[in-house]
Structure 1
Amino acid sequence: MKYEIKGGELPVVVCFMDAGETMITEKGSMSWMSPNMKMETTSNGGVGKALGRMFAGEAIFQNRYTAEGGPGMIAFASSFPGQIKPWEIMPGREIVVQKSGFLAAQEGVELSVFFQKKLGAGLFGGEGFIMQRLSGQGLAFLEFDGSVVEYGLQPGQQIVVDTGYLAAMDATCKMEIRTVPGIKNMMFGGEGLFNTVITGPGRVWLQTMPISNVAGAILRYLPSK
């Protein structure tokens, strides 16, 4: 399969597929396609995996698109201004992404829910708590809000991230949600109650414009009635 990412800050990935190749995606992600692309809606792994995707913020069912009778073309557009990044998934090269970060992938890629280990803190940690783990084998396309900044963490090295800015991380990284220290900081600091602490080794991708922050900023200007 070949692909092109177009559209600048409003990106779309156009995939050029050989006959018999299949892509999986969440509902509503397909933008346009050639007439020979066959769509099939499936739970893709049974009830257990479907419920896990739902808990991670994705749809229970996924759509499978297969090129039939010859080469096919299909495009998947981002749902928010930002960037689309390709990622080659393989054993030992799994990635953990924000719950809305998966756009599309080849059929060999598997999605599962990723839990923050400390459940008590995680229940109140917002978007940093429940994420998705991508494993298996194949090319995946991820969508991020705004621009993406990458950091490489050495073993034991940490970075503290405000909730919502964590876009993705290598599965080798560890994630912990911590409360902001000090009552005054929590009440009057304006930075929320929790931060996400990422510990290496591995790479971390941070996004500059979380959609939750944009929604909060717009909400202030909407009429109350």
Structure 2
Amino acid sequence: MVTIITTSQNFYISGCVTKEIEKICQWNRVIVPQTKVLLVNHEFGHIYPDMDVLVALGLPIIEDCCTTFFSQNTAGRVGTYGDFSTYSFSKFFPVPMGGLLIDNRNTPCSHVSAIDAETKANLTEVLNREIPDLAKLLTKRKKIFEYGIERFRQLGFEERFKQDKLTVPVAMMIRNKGIIRDLPALKTELWRHGIEASVFYGEDAFFVPSHQNLTEADVDYFFQIIQSFIQKAL
């Protein structure tokens, strides 16, 4: 049994996570005697706050850092609490694929890659170009996030997660506050206009992209589509 722990403790878990677990075993959301492994999902760039408590349980831990590539906690240990940690390149870098699995147990392994040589070379080229400017890229990502949140506040929304200096958000998670009655319809409308967005199922919230390659004009476009959707629903 794999028990999934998330920052928000919202019941929703992406099918891309659960379907992979189901190939091997069952999963649940509450630690029980049958729990053999903890999968800790640091959601949307926001760190699960009680990692030391989980470590003290003595169970194997997998840290899902796919959306928290560059977020940290004050202890600087995110990604090293677990026996394993996973990362996604495409959440931060301009690549369509690629991820990283880190074994923190320092055990011998074969370092087998699941991608072909050409794809690996392309990924390496992009990462070598992007990483030297990492500080600048992260600053741009935070600034576009802050700009977006401020714009959405003008519509009565607020941010779902509390921000701090160590957080690098991967999306603008918006608390709806009952303003939009049909969030799935909003998702459809945003996708229709080329905006990859979704509902934070289980809560009155939704999210839109936040990325260093977005501009304020892009965020204004998000704003206009959402504002128009609200006005049409009145």
State the TM-score, normalizing by the size of structure 1. 0.26
Tell which has more relative contact order, 1 or 2 (C-alpha 8 A, sep 6+). 1
State the TM-score, normalizing by the size of structure 2. 0.25
